[in-house]
Amino acid sequence: MTTSNYATERETTEGKVFTVTGGDWDSVVSGTDPINDERIVVNMGPQHPSTHGVLRLVLELEGETVREARSVIGYLHTGIEKNLEYRTWVQGSTFVTRMDYLAPLFNETAYSLAVEKLLGITDDITERANTIRVLMMELNRISSHLVWLATTGMELGAISIMLYGFREREYILEIFELITGLRMNHAYVRPGGVAQDVPDDAIIKIRELLALLPKRLKEYEDLLSGQPIWTERTKNVAVLDVTACLALGVTGPVLRSAGLAWDLRKTMPYCGYETYEFDVPTHTGGDVWGRYQVRLAEIRESMKIVEQAVDRLAKPGPVMVADRKIAWPAQLAIGVDGMGNSLEHVAKIMGQSMESLIHHFKLVTEGFRVPPGQVYVGIESPRGELGVHAVSDGGTRPYRVHYREPSFVNLQALPAMAEGGLIADVIAGGASLDPVMGGCDR
């Protein structure tokens, strides 16, 4: 004998009413709910606070399940790559630093390495300049991962970790300001070397950071790793295995969290990374939890590299190539107003010879010429492989510069991670990719 899932129907002023007494919800409502098979389209963004910038996600939902997800970009378009074609090779550094605004020093270094490769001076870069580049990039990697931890924690409800992450990042930005004069958008790494040497007070502050950070990382893990809500929101969420990562071109911590130890600092070393002792952290989960574990481990490895780099800076040396036709940016001296050239430096230029003054004027206004050709240079940014394809036609300005931006490439993985899951997990999955929209929309 079968029984109905419904009590006796009764008509009311509001329409037909019946009571469900048991059974599977989908089969119960399918025969009576006229909109059971309908889906709704939701625009998440472009101002949604949980999308790491000006990103728009178009989600097709069936209940709370995501059936289709599309990423829509372009809201932060700056035209930086096009602008580079109208600036000298040195001026390009001030543009590219503004793309991925959480990793400006990586943008500058990749660009400078490409220009140096076109000039044929890669082997002429001084040991001290390479050491400073490594030091600054690894500090920048730590600060970028701290922002990821802070914002992802905020998006999943862990407000305290947002405050703590930005607190420690502030310490690193103060170090950057001591060295470069700016907290962000430094234009510090330039073709031929770096703009100026690292001052002694910055070295002291870096060593203080190295003593402080291990304790703070332990606090982060105590706060999050054993927290039931955090583990529920991250474990087995937004899974992307190594096959899917390779098919979609995903690199960086997302790829390493799936088990593949691919890191350009090890596989294709640059700036002398092959001379540093550090490990490449991996995880096998391929989920949000794995990406969290990999990034925390990478902070610790970056601290190892920073300590080695600081020790090497005890040995003095030049921070720019010897060729004055390229090295002029490092010869500047800041005036008393903190902005222009010092009077002593101007007097030195003026007092040499008329030919020297003309040469300096032309070098600053027109820039140096770069032999025709094209190169590709890739480095390991906090988000993955950051590549620069630079083309020269033999002039004083780039003919074309295009960035292989990991935020842009990694966003392709969002539909693969989100479709079939819950709408709440779109936030966790998207955050775990760590996209920076300034890089996507360059």
- Cβ atoms of 250 and 409 closer than 8 Å: yes
Rounded to whole angstroms, what are the CA distances from 129 to 116, 387, 402?
A: 13, 21, 25
Q: Which residue has the tokens 């070295």?
A: 203
Q: Is residue 68 included in any domain, yes or no? A: no
CATH number at residue 378: 1.10.645.10
Residues in the chain, how many? 442
pLDDT of residue 32: 56
145 with 421: CB under 8 angstroms?
no
Give the pLDDT confidence score for residue 6 in this predicted structure.
44
Q: What is the pLDDT of residue 75?
A: 84
Residue 62 lies in a domain: no
Give the span between the Cα atoms of 430 and 238, in whole angstroms: 8
Together in a domain, 101 and 23: no
Could you tell me if 277 and 304 are in contact, meaning their C-beta atoms sit under 8 angstroms apart?
yes
Q: Which residues of 10-23 are buried (b: 16+ CB within 10 A; e: fewer)?
A: eeeeeeeeeeeeee
For 271: left if phi > 0, alpha if psi spans -120 to 50, otherwise beta; the answer is left
> For residue 74, is it within any domain?
no
Tokens coding 166 = 């930005």
Hunting for tokens 């074309």 — which residue is that? 400
203 lies in a domain?
Answer: yes
The residue segments making up the domain with residue 25 are 1-38
103 and 34, same structural domain?
A: no
Q: What pLDDT, on the 0 to 100 scale, is given for residue 371?
A: 92
Question: Looking at the structure, do residues 93 and 30 belong to the same domain, yes or no?
Answer: no
Shared-domain flag, residues 9 and 132? no
Instruction: Verify that 230 and 295 share a domain, yes or no.
Output: yes
Answer yes or no: do 269 and 180 share one domain: yes
Q: What is the mean pLDDT of each run of 10 residues along the chain (442 residues)?
A: 54 70 59 63 73 80 86 86 91 90 92 93 91 94 93 87 91 91 88 89 93 92 88 88 91 92 92 93 91 94 94 89 73 60 69 73 83 94 93 92 92 88 87 86 84
| Residue 160 shares a structural domain with residue 16 | no
Could you tell me which residues come within 8 angstroms of residue 179 by beta carbon, excluding any fewer than 6 positions away? 136, 188, 196, 198, 199, 202
Total number of domains constituting the chain: 2
In-domain check, residue 211? yes
- Give residue 332's pLDDT: 58
CA–CA distance, 7 with 17 (Å, rounded to integer): 9
Asked, for residue 67, whether it belongs to a domain, the answer is no
Q: Are residues 185 and 276 in the same domain?
A: yes
The type of residue at 304 is K
Other CB atoms within 10 A of residue 174 CB: 14
Interatomic CA distance for residues 389 and 398, integer angstroms: 11
**Chain centroid to CA 199:** 26
Whether the CB-CB separation of 122 and 98 falls below 8 Å is answered with: no
CA distance 202 to 205: 5
Instruction: Tell me, yes or no, whether 180 and 249 share the same domain.
Output: yes
Q: Is 114 among the domain residues?
A: yes
